[in-house]
Amino acid sequence: MSTKTSKNEKSQLIERPPVVVVVGHVDHGKSTTADYLLAKAGLMSAETAGEKRMTDSDEEEQERGITIFTSVVILSYDYVMKDKDGNEKEETYLFQINDTPGHLSFTGEVSRALRGSDGAVILVDALEGMMTQTETNIQLAVGEEACKPVLFINKVDRLIAELRLDPEHVMGKLDIIASQVNIMVKKLAPKGLAKAWKISFKNNSIAVGSAKDGWAFTVEILVQKGLKPSEVFQKYKDDNKSWLRENLPLDDALLRMVIQHIPNPGESQKYKIPLIWKGDLESEIGQSLLNCDPNGPLLGMITKIFIDPRSKRPTLIGRVFSGTLRKDDVLYLINRRQTKRIKRLGVMELTDILEVPEIPAGNLFALFGFICPAGESFYRDGFEVSGFDKIAYAAEPVVSRAISPKIATDLSKLSDVVNTWIMADPTASYELDHKTKKIVLSGIDPLQLEILISRIDEQVPLNISDPIVVHRESITKQSRVYTTKSNNGHNRITMQIDPILPGVADALRDDKIDPYMERKDRAKVLVKASEGAWKENFTRGYWAHSGSNLLIENTKGVQRLDRIKEFIIQSWITFTKKATLAGEPLQNTVFTITDATVHVDPAHIGVTEIVSMVSSACNLTYLSSKPRLLEPLMRIEIKTPPNYVGALTGLLTQKRGIIEIILEKAGSSILKALIPTVETIELADDIRGATAGRGFFGYTFAKFEDVPAHLFDKTVETIRVRNKLKPEVPTQSTWERFIYKRG
């Protein structure tokens, strides 16, 4: 984990330093905590630590008082520790640290930071305890990305100074938090590591303290200094917080935890790689990945795109998992199937790049010269290998806003700018509406879109619509089999729709199915995902997928079908984006082509002929499968003074919310409820009104659920009008003329 180095070598990477992420619920003190680490490294003054929030370097972060973007810094420390004989020994440690957002709207930043990390400092507010986003972050850190955790319980000063609890009651609260974290760690830790990853006061993997006042300790630190917890209480009673900062510095406690418990990449990749890479572990590249070998084949991943707020130029940040990345490398981007050349290579220090000639395995890098989506894997051109699994995100886009340039001729420029920002945050998406010349942005919630749009507006002045909630459409049963014909009557296609098997839908959503996979390999993945319900000869008929919808060709003896294959696929994809019922995206279906007739003359198989034939088949089969309209639900958690609980329950009930639980925590009430996303558009203002501004909330995406029967017709009509469709849902008669009837 450490390498002795001189102080003037800070810009030089040592071999395999650990990468650490600080994660926690919004406003639990992550950026304040990071200040003390930066001050320890000499990147800011100790006097302003805890107040400046230096990792919140973006103007909007400073204005809103929240972290929006992950900040990356490389920190070098000269640290003195005593060995078991009491002898002091100084070592220089180098850490690569990420300060991440706590708000759900920016959870994608957390997921991407964790992909390139070895460990996580889980930060929990001592007063509020475990909150929704804390649980989400532990799920992402421990369960999805195999980052070993340590725990910092922050804001203990509030228990002492505000609630005036005695030491026994404070320790009781801290024990509860530690126990709650351990329950999740035990459940989520990689196989065989649950016991080793258990956090405890005894092994010094838990620190407690106050980032605001700049102090913290582990049990070991108290023992070594000959102190008791009661002395901390006495210093608050004496109003002597400066003594705590001087004698129990927060940075020392956190660094000691990291040094003692967070593994270096050579250790962490042995269990991390099998979770994030599905290649052959016995191969040359597999062994190099497991051992984090800087001399092995190059394989890395882009985990973040930093867009400079002044120049708007993108810098790609990521991790080298195998081999060594060099400044003159030509990289092959695996998902985009493109070759790109590096123009500038280095490491990130907040908003600056410190240039270095090469980055060995286990380290974060920053490079400039091209743009690609966050989550892209790469290798050195000329050496072919499979990429990493898709990064797991805790939410999906359910809210949309339409934007258009104020100057019509800026549409092309707007498309380029939007594309860059979506590459930086793949939890959002966009689509160009060719009829209206507007770009429809979709995101996790209104705040995410608000931030995204403000960035785009800085580059291209915008007209902006109000936010709308995107529903989903699906089916209830197997459809009828329909055969439709082209306009000229020379071509036919026979199709039906079925509800997709849950395992297959999950595999599609998790990007385990790739259109570029070998046909046999993809077929085996689909068979496995179906738990054997589908046979391999059926799954080999895979043609395409769109979201969690699948298109299978299962014909026999059809000639010339390959001539119209691409037209069929594009028409089908278009349908899945805007289904018949309300013009909303379709999900969880499998379309099967069972027969077709293709005219021998190319003049009779033009795109117009094929699109009309396929579109009518999709609409007809869909209408016969008992369509469903699904609305997204959010799980909301509200913290409020107890006397406002009645007003809040009334508000949530009015908004079709379902109260799941009401808890009492440290003098506050915590309400947890399910609420339709459509009811959250103005919810922030409503909660402020119902609680006189004293209610705080956060939410996570929960699930899609059928629109209630009594609201179904009205909701469908409203969405159809919004989507510029006729209010009435079309019937079979709309496509009657395309139905092929045997003579």
- Residue 580 is predicted with a pLDDT of 97
Whether residue 194 sits in one domain with residue 151: yes
Q: Is the domain of 481 the same as that of 339? A: no
Ramachandran assignment for 325, one of left (phi > 0), alpha (psi -120 to 50 degrees), beta (any other): beta
Domain annotation covers residue 409: yes
Is residue 46 domain-shared with residue 77, that is, in the same domain?
yes
Please indicate, yes or no, whether residues 138 and 233 belong to a single structural domain of this protein. Answer: yes
Instruction: Return all residues near 87 (Cβ < 8 A) that are at least 6 apart.
Output: none
Q: How far is CA 114 from CA 111, 134, 151, 552, in A?
A: 5, 14, 16, 36
CATH number, domain at 162? Answer: 3.40.50.300
| Model pLDDT, residue 571 | 97
Q: Give the pair of three-digit tokens for residue 738.
A: 């395309």
| Residue 3 domain-assigned (yes or no) | no
Please indicate, yes or no, if residue 347 is contained in any of the structural domains: yes
Q: What is the CATH number of the domain that holds 319?
A: 2.40.30.10
Does one domain contain both 45 and 166? yes
Domain boundary among 221, 240, 263: 263
Whether residue 4 is contained in a domain is answered as no
Chain centre distance of CA 196: 27
pLDDT reported for residue 688: 85
Residue 613 counted as domain residue: yes
Q: Are residues 281 and 350 in the same domain?
A: yes
Report the relative pairing of strands 668-676 and 658-665 from DSSP bridges. antiparallel
CA neighbor of 437 nearest in space, from 465, 470, 402, 468? 402
**What is the model's pLDDT at position 112?**
86
Q: Which residues of the chain have pLDDT under 70?
A: 1-16, 25-28, 40-84, 86, 90-95, 97-107, 350-351, 394-395, 666, 743
Given a contact cutoff of 8 angstroms between Cβ atoms, the answer to whether 683 and 655 are in contact is: yes
Residue 257, domain member (yes or no):
yes
Please check whether residue 695 is in contact with residue 644, taking contact to mean a CB–CB distance below 8 angstroms.
yes
To 10 degrees, the CA torsion angle through 661, 664, 665, 668?
110
Instruction: Say if residue 403 is in the same domain as residue 256.
Output: no
Paired tokens of 434: 């060719």
pLDDT recorded at residue 226: 92
CB-based contact 204:236 (threshold 8 Å): no
Domain endpoint, select from 235, 263, 291: 263
**Residues pairing with 333 in the sheet:** 338, 378
Separation CA 416–CA 607 (nearest Å): 28
Q: How far apart are CA 485 and CA 494, in angstroms?
A: 9
Q: What is the dihedral of CA 342, 107, 268, 358, to 10 degrees?
A: 10
Q: Across the strands, what pairs with 71?
A: 99
pLDDT of residue 664: 82
In the 3-class helix/strand/coil scheme, how is 376-411 assigned residue by residue? CEEEECCCCCCCCCCCCCCCCCCEEEEEEECCHHHH
CATH number for the domain harbouring residue 674: 3.30.70.240
In a domain, 605, yes or no: yes
Structural domain contains residue 387: no
**CATH (domain of 446):** 3.30.70.870
Task: Name every residue whose Cβ is closer than 8 Å to that of residue 159 and which is 6 or more positions away in sequence.
Answer: 126, 127, 165, 169, 170, 173, 666
The pLDDT of residue 721: 95
Structural domains of the chain, count:
5
The answer to whether 496 touches 482, Cβ cutoff 8 Å, is yes
- Could you tell me the residue range of the domain that residue 322 belongs to? 268-380
Q: Are residues 623 and 634 in the same domain?
A: no
Task: Show which of 345, 380, 415 is a domain's final residue.
Answer: 380
Q: Could you tell me if 67 and 211 lie in one domain?
A: yes
Question: 141 and 128: one domain?
Answer: yes
User: What is d(CA 611, CA 493) in angstroms, rounded to the nearest whole number?
Assistant: 11
Helix (DSSP H) and strand (DSSP E) numbers for the chain: 22, 32
Residues 273 and 252 in one domain: no
Same domain, 210 and 274: no
